[in-house]
Structure 1
Amino acid sequence: MLQILRLCLIGLHFLVAAVINFLICLVRPFNPDNSRLCGWVYSAPALRILGLSMKLDTADMLRQPNPFVVVANHQSNWDLWVLGCSVPRRTVSLGKKSLKWVPFFGQIYWLAGNILIDRGNAFKAKQAMLKTTDVMLHQDTSIWVFPEGTRNLGKGLLPFKKGAFQMAINAGVPIVPLVCSNYKSTMRLNRWHSGRIVIKTLAPIPTAGMTLEDMPALMERCREQMLACLAELDAQIAQA
């Protein structure tokens, strides 16, 4: 019963948050700080509705001046509610062009200044990737990427794709790994306290002076650090 009530309230909250965020984006369309504000509007009330306790250990990221590339693990569609509170200032993300047509969310995502990629068109996809370099270097803006490319459903980390690391090397900006503890298989919405989540960022990994030949080692280094951190966070929660 509690789970059903929470899901109904989340649906209502989604509509109310969409209206608020749409107004934010209409007042300041394509402002790169919209994602931070919209993420907070989506996330902060939702965590209370869902009965989730959140610990943010993101000091390394908050101290890091723009621009940089955030690489985060992607568990499920619940990430909108879970990760929204951790978006740093002036940070946009990469998303599929088709997201633009998702009712309510898609229009806000576009107006928030996020970068849409047409993955079915190689030329347009390349142009979008070049745009990210310009955005980072000349607009005091960072980029948020899910390097797995799809949801891992709480099963560790899927293999990483190259895009985030290629962007960071081309722009010569650091990578900031962000790890969210496994909530997909531990969240219990039928309990009053439905779960505990920890989000932690690791020390920035510099890319200055690297070339694309260094990319495989960079990807492996980042993934190994995130896997170790994920295991550590999950162990902390299991012992609590």
Structure 2
Amino acid sequence: MELWPGAWTLLLLLFLLLLFLLPTLWFCSPSAKYFFKMAFYNGWILFLAVLAIPVCAVRGRNVENMKILRLMLLHIKYLYGIRVEVRGAHHFPPSQPYVVVSNHQSSLDLLGMMEVLPGRCVPIAKRELLWAGSAGLACWLAGVIFIDRKRTGDAISVMSEVAQTLLTQDVRVWVFPEGTRNHNGSMLPFKRGAFHLAVQAQVPIVPIVMSSYQDFYCKKERRFTSGRCQVRVLPPVPTEGLTPDDVPALADRVRHSMLTVFREISTDGRGGGDYLKKQTSGAALTSATWGVGERN
């Protein structure tokens, strides 16, 4: 079926309109720029996953494939002008399994994760990611552990298997204990699954803190510019001799130390500092002016 001449003219006009409209939106609308950047970010990851799948498939499902994904994703920070600074990498235990716990702000956490990801370390992710097209398949081939959070029994069973895998196959796992993305510039209460896992396997917990993205990224304000992010690896927290009864206090202690560091590195002029300092100073000014104290 051939298009009649008028249809070709219409398609050409639409194409020319897009050529004019897209650059105009890019330079004139910060919200449009935000959506364009996020669309490219997700689309580029899906495309890279397509390239990674045949390479990873040679080994089959194997945690060593995570090195391939990491290598292919490391350049993305340069595309967006995001400078990632890592401190404390020497705190990673050199030759034993452990559980990494990290704060979770947005899908951009992937950039910080790939920058500091230790060898033979895979994330624990929600099962929905498995169905995310090429990205889901690439993650499966890289040994990512999927958990159905809606089915508690299944999640507990998977965690028990993971505890055995940690010890028998020298694997490390990366967990976001907040359970979901948190865009409010702080940390949500921690779920205890990662801490139960570490105690069950009697392996250390390595906390990792990523500074606030608020000076260059904000979903609510539809803002996405260039900026800096600091990733801080904290000293490992031992779990030898701890029991399930100790898990609540352990989770609270680790969260408190991570939150303290998060506030420190997000207000020191590096990674989120400028925006968060303005917010903090503004809140302090309001409290001083109106006599309103901070409430927990």
Question: How high is the TM-score relative to the length of structure 1?
Answer: 0.89
Q: Equivalent pairs: percent with the same residue?
A: 36
User: Superposition RMSD on alpha carbons, in Å?
Assistant: 2.2
Compared with structure 1, are the counterparts of its residues 16 and 134 closer, same or farther at alpha carbon in structure 2 (3 Å cutoff)? same
Contact 1:154 1:182 in 2 (8 A): no
Contact 2:98 2:203 in 1 (8 A): yes
Greater relative CO (CA pairs within 8 A, separation 6+): 1
Deviation at 1:6, TM superposition (A): 4.7
Contact 1:30 1:114 in 2 (8 A): no
Compared with structure 1, are the counterparts of its residues 49 and 103 closer, same or farther at alpha carbon in structure 2 (3 Å cutoff)? same
Compared with structure 1, are the counterparts of its residues 66 and 46 closer, same or farther at alpha carbon in structure 2 (3 Å cutoff)? same
SS at match of 1:67: coil
Residue in 1 that maps onto 2:243: 211
User: What CA distance in whole angstroms lies between the structure 1 residues aligned with 2:42 and 2:128?
Assistant: 22
Pairing of 1:70-219 with structure 2 (within 5 A): 70-183=100-213, 185-187=214-216, 191=225, 194-219=226-251
Deviation at 1:34, TM superposition (A): 2.2
User: What CA distance in whole angstroms lies between the structure 2 residues aligned with 1:12 and 1:161?
Assistant: 31
Instruction: State yes or no: 1:29 paired with 2:70.
Output: no
Residue in 1 that maps onto 2:70: 39
Question: How high is the TM-score relative to the length of structure 2?
Answer: 0.73
SS at match of 1:92: strand
User: What CA distance in whole angstroms lies between the structure 2 residues aligned with 1:24 and 1:85?
Assistant: 21
User: What CA distance in whole angstroms lies between the structure 1 residues aligned with 2:224 and 2:247?
Assistant: 44
Q: Identify unmatched segments of 5+ residues in structure 2.
A: 1-25, 28-32, 218-222, 275-296
- The aligned length equals 236
User: What CA distance in whole angstroms lies between the structure 1 residues aligned with 2:87 and 2:62?
Assistant: 26
Deviation at 1:67, TM superposition (A): 0.2
Larger Rg: 2
User: What CA distance in whole angstroms lies between the structure 2 residues aligned with 1:13 and 1:220?
Assistant: 37
Deviation at 1:94, TM superposition (A): 1.3
2:244 alignment partner AA: L
1:218 alignment partner AA: L
Contact 1:36 1:87 in 2 (8 A): no
User: What CA distance in whole angstroms lies between the structure 2 residues aligned with 1:216 and 1:8?
Assistant: 39
Contact 2:89 2:116 in 1 (8 A): no
